[in-house]
Structure 1
Amino acid sequence: MNPEPDGLTDISGPTLVKRNGTTYVAYHGNDGRIRITQVGNAFDREVHLGVFHSPIASDNGRVAAPSFGKQDGVDYMFYEAGHRLNARICIARAV
């Protein structure tokens, strides 16, 4: 995957996401937001779908390193929020 289709220079912190019969990669960019790209089950696609999660006020302008889990049928995303090396881990519940 390349950062240019997202209008970025750098991307990192990828995590694999399987939903609705296909495969995606969620990652963060140098703009402080989390994005998602469909890669397909055979990893033969690169469909950049855009911003998946933007920082809220308490995130101090940066969200990164997404990770996903499910409990009792509810989807959650864990992520890093805040400036590098001075961040905290947060949780977001799917709505």
Structure 2
Amino acid sequence: MSNDLPHPFVGLWVTADGFIRQELRPDGRYDEARGSRRSAYTGRYTVTGSHIDYLDDIGFTATGDVRDGVLYHEHLVLHRQGDASPAPNTRRA
């Protein structure tokens, strides 16, 4: 598989109420909005299998896991923007 293709987790993930919106960018950066506060949290992320490690620009860390097309990020449950149901298998071959 070409390294030029974005990772399957890249994109916008949102909570059911739309309050939290987390964009995982192809360049390894993330931007998280909360309510009307844009870029409430920003930083870098790395993916190992279905696990995501976050390093915020101010130094704190967090983790997440994608299972059955759902991103479980600490206490949050996020779905891809526009998905009515969980995405099919998001693992890379």
So what's the TM-score if we normalise by structure 1? 0.33
Higher helix proportion (structure 1 or 2): 1
**Comparing both chains, which one has the higher relative contact order based on Cα–Cα distances under 8 Å and sequence gaps of 6 or more?**
2
Name which one, 1 or 2, has greater alpha-carbon Rg. 1
TM-score of the two chains, using structure 2 as the length reference: 0.34
